[in-house]
Amino acid sequence: MPELRRFVQVDVFTATPLKGNPLAVVVDAAGLSDDDMAAFARWTNLSETTFLLPPTDPAADYRVRIFTPGGELPFAGHPTLGSAHAFLASGGDAKKPGEVVQQCAIGLVRVKRDGARLAFAAPPLQRSGPVDDAALRAQAIAALRIAPEALLDLVWVDNGPGWMAARLRDAAAVQALQPDFVTMQGLKLGVVGAWPAGGDCQFEVRAFVPDLGVPEDPVTGSLNAGLALWLQGAGLAGDHYVASQGAALGRAGRVHVRREAEATWIGGDVTPLIHGQVRL
């Protein structure tokens, strides 16, 4: 029998409503089946919908399951920040002051306050290094509709979802992309290019995941986390930078990256939009 459950909708990676990436969160998800969660995620038709559950790991404050309209993800960034915000705003009691520990399919993810923002510790890459497969490289070039020489790097930045990242000559080239989503089937492809020095943002990012029912994701924490580990490790980015994402969709997402001794933190503002109940 369906029951009323607490429900929150937030806008992540923005302090301005409607300019980030929306997330739907069912706070009281215990008792829902896999089919219930998948059906509700298809109904919201957002890039991700999350469901908060009691943790099974004693070190965690809550457990989350993350669904797109096309299936479940083991980890995603903007759902991590939005779910942590929903947990705290709904009266969740974290075990450690100033830090929330999220349990998800890839393990435990730490989330902390970073001034007015929340930030999660970038999980380690499960797959990294250059994409050596010639067929995958050709598919990525064709899907992005770019000349082969326009592709400066094509690397794995997979922290669970399966991201591959392409680096172009600059941010303008990233913004100008008009991808072929039919050719892109089977890929989870991120693209990054640098802005000229002196601006508010250092990189422009776009994320394409047509197989999950999200041809272009507005602002993508997991991709930015993988990019940060690669860019910083390769000497292409400093310890602190800001990436912009979402302009092609009318958004103005801002992802704040900060490398410290213990971790690289991926931060952003979370703006509440809706707080109420849903019958599930």
The residues annotated with a catalytic role in the active site are: 48
Lookup result for tokens 């309209």? 69
**Residue 62: HSE in the Cβ half-sphere, 13 Å Cα cutoff:** 29
Q: What angle do CA 152, 212, 87 make, to 5 degrees?
A: 100
Tell me if 70 sits within 8 A of 43, measured CB to CB: no
Tell me if 32 sits within 8 A of 280, measured CB to CB: yes
- What's the length of the chain? 280
Those residues whose C-beta lies under 8 Å from the C-beta of residue 73, and which sit 6 or more positions away, are: 48, 66, 67, 79, 105, 160, 161, 212
Tell me the C-alpha distance between 121 and 276, whole Å: 29
